[in-house]
Amino acid sequence: MRCPPIHGLRFDQSDIAALRHLRGLPRSRKLLETALPTGVMPTIFLGNNAAQVGHNIASTDWYMLAQAMASVSAVERNVFIQTARLQQLSGSTHEQRLFWRAVEDGCQGF
């Protein structure tokens, strides 16, 4: 989407905090993508003999883990959109609301 021209835009503290939050989302997503499988592996292998490891591998819900891994990006996208929408509602100026609407719609510059 092409970005609309916005003249006289000034950010307040809420906007700055929201922008910082949005910048941190990719890092949080990467941490979650790492933490999900990392949490499963010790449960399977640590402190167990071969028979217990085999049982743990067979009883682990791999499908649910795969679904959780696949939905991490959707969660990130939903948090992004929700943050932009909340900022639109709290925007004190027309320019702020216009900016956050453009962010929600996927404005990426020219």
Per-residue pLDDT at 92: 84
pLDDT tens string for the chain (110 positions)? 678 888 999 999 999 999 999 999 999 999 999 998 888 888 888 877 888 888 888 888 889 889 999 999 999 999 999 999 999 998 889 999 999 999 998 887 65
- Contact (CB, 8 A) for 56 and 44: yes
Residue 109, Cβ neighbours under 10 Å: how many?
Answer: 6
Q: Among 40, 105, 42, which residue's Cα sits nearest to residue 69?
A: 40
Alpha carbons 68 and 84: distance in angstroms, whole number:
24
Whole-structure pTM value: 0.75
Per-residue pLDDT at 82: 95
Alpha carbons 76 and 64: distance in angstroms, whole number:
19
Which residue is it, tokens 């990467």?
A: 30
